Amino acid sequence: MVKSVPVVQLSNVSKRFVIRKEKSLKERIVNAGRSAKFREDFWALRDISLEIESGSTIGLIGSNGSGKSTLLKAIGGIIEPTSGSVLRRGRLAALLELGAGFHPDLTGRENVYLNASILGLSRKQTDFYFDDIVEFSGIANFIDTQVKFYSSGMYVRLAFSVAIHVDPDLLLVDEVLAVGDEAFQRKCLDKIRSFQAEGRTIILVTHSLGQVNELCDRAVLLKAGSVVFDGEPQKATATFRDILEDRRLEEVAAHADEPINQGRILDVTMTVVGREQGAAVEPGDDIEVAMTFEHDTGMPNWMAALQIDSVSGQVVYGSTTKRAGIKLSPLREAQTVTFVLKNSNFGSGKYFISASLMDTSGVHMHDLVQVLSFNVPYYSLAVGTVHAETEIVVG
């Protein structure tokens, strides 16, 4: 068996951008002699070393400004690193920015030939692939229209169609696929899967962590231009969600407002019965969520509410004391209500707990949105927000 060879090798790659603080050319000229005071170095990438094997699919993930797109451009040769080296082998096709490589005053047909030539195809080869390119893009009726009149979705359709027909060994895809409609996105993902089956190498930048888990066999998590995790996609996305949650809690704490209507939630705690504090929630576990409330002047008719959301914001569980048929005594001094979720069966992933103090008509008096979170371990046999043991019978 032939050992897989690296298609991309990055050695200690760093990229620096200079942020100038002058607001005009005049200010820049005036401050030319003391420019150091009016400029700031921004390191988009810091000392990154990676090897990407042929036939692999790599997901680059991280928050905005973490360096994902800069790293992809460095891999694609669009920008030169400030230090370090990038080595590539094979034919490369890149979808890095909406309409990159297109001239707005040329028609779609003319841009197909222009873009294909930039990506390394001869005119004869482009003639051979042209009908397939147009058919895949689905914009045959507009192929002789200037692309400056195209919608963003039409741009993406045509650009992606050209990129996949240049027979690339390495395909770089930035977030541009999010612009197309759902049907076209599915079509693109099917094409990416066929590329995987053919042994091509794909590097994907996306904010869709579900796509990373589904498509990639490796994920690289970036933070402030550095690699903080490189390995299994499920572990990478879980680590990234923890980073996002920590940042969200910091922002909530920094901008916390006093609760209105003199009623408030004092505390919310979560316990997994029989497990240590902070442990992952396994399918079948009992979960206890305790909420403590108080009201300054007294609230005769009130209810407590619990909601659990997935990372995509979908409500996967919700209940109130009113739904359970429980009438609470008037609220004034601190009172605790505990929701017990018996035999929980959440699917793999991260979930967020929100608590609410409401009157019995449903008006929210105070909310703690996504105040807590918990993780459910990866289950290799299925995906989704519901866990069920998988058994498949054939015949």
Which tens digit of pLDDT belongs to each residue from 328-379? 999 999 999 999 999 999 999 899 999 999 999 988 889 888 899 999 998 8
**Highest averaged pLDDT of the listed ranges 114-123, 174-183, 325-334:** 325-334
Q: Tell me the mean pLDDT in the region 266-293.
A: 93
Give kind and range of the element (H or E) at residue 164.
helix 152-164
Q: Which CATH number fits domain 261-376: 3.90.245.10, 1.10.240.10, 2.70.50.60, 3.50.50.60?
A: 2.70.50.60
> Under a CB-based contact definition with an 8 Å cutoff, are residues 147 and 189 in contact?
no
Give 35-43 contacts, CB < 8 A, sequence gap 24+.
41/16, 41/17, 42/16, 42/17, 42/18, 43/14, 43/15, 43/16, 43/17, 43/225
> Under a CB-based contact definition with an 8 Å cutoff, are residues 114 and 154 in contact?
no
Q: Write the CA distances from 140 to 131, 137, 167, 168, 394, integer angstroms.
A: 9, 8, 22, 24, 43
pLDDT of amino acid 382 = 87
Q: In terms of C-beta density within 10 A (0-12 exposed, 13-18 middle, 19 or more buried), how is residue 271 classed? A: middle
The one-letter amino acid code at 11 reads: S
pLDDT of amino acid 185 = 77
Q: Tell me the mean pLDDT in the region 209-221.
A: 87
Torsion over CA: 223, 226, 228, 232 (sign): positive
Q: How far apart are the first and last CA of the chain?
A: 35
Greater model confidence, 39 or 326: 326
> Under a CB-based contact definition with an 8 Å cutoff, are residues 342 and 286 in contact?
yes
Lowest mean per-residue pLDDT among 56-70, 244-258, 312-326: 244-258
How many other CB atoms are there within 10 angstroms of residue 70's CB atom? 22
Mean of the per-residue pLDDT values of the chain = 86
pLDDT of amino acid 25 = 65
The one-letter amino acid code at 131 reads: D
Q: CATH 3.40.50.300 in the chain, residues?
A: 6-245
Q: Tell me the mean pLDDT in the region 277-288.
A: 92
pLDDT of amino acid 163 = 82
Residue with tokens 């979908």: 314
Lowest mean per-residue pLDDT among 78-82, 101-105, 106-110, 271-275: 101-105
Confidence of residue 383 (pLDDT cuts 50, 70, 90): confident
Angle between helices 108-118 and 123-137 (to 10 degrees): 120
Greater model confidence, 34 or 218: 218
pLDDT of amino acid 258 = 53
Q: Under CATH, which number does the domain 6-245 receive? A: 3.40.50.300
> Under a CB-based contact definition with an 8 Å cutoff, are residues 96 and 73 in contact?
yes
pLDDT of amino acid 98 = 59
> Under a CB-based contact definition with an 8 Å cutoff, are residues 370 and 313 in contact?
no
> Under a CB-based contact definition with an 8 Å cutoff, are residues 11 and 84 in contact?
yes
Q: CATH 2.70.50.60 in the chain, residues?
A: 261-376
Residue 139's closest CA among 111, 116, 115, 117? 111
Q: Does the pLDDT value for residue 26 go beyond 90? A: no
**Computed over its alpha carbons, how large is the radius of gyration of the chain?**
27
> Under a CB-based contact definition with an 8 Å cutoff, are residues 361 and 372 in contact?
no
Kindly report, residue by residue over 290-320, the tens digit of the pLDDT. Answer: 999 999 889 999 999 999 998 877 889 999 9
Q: Does the pLDDT value for residue 100 go beyond 70? A: no
Confidence of residue 1 (pLDDT cuts 50, 70, 90): very low
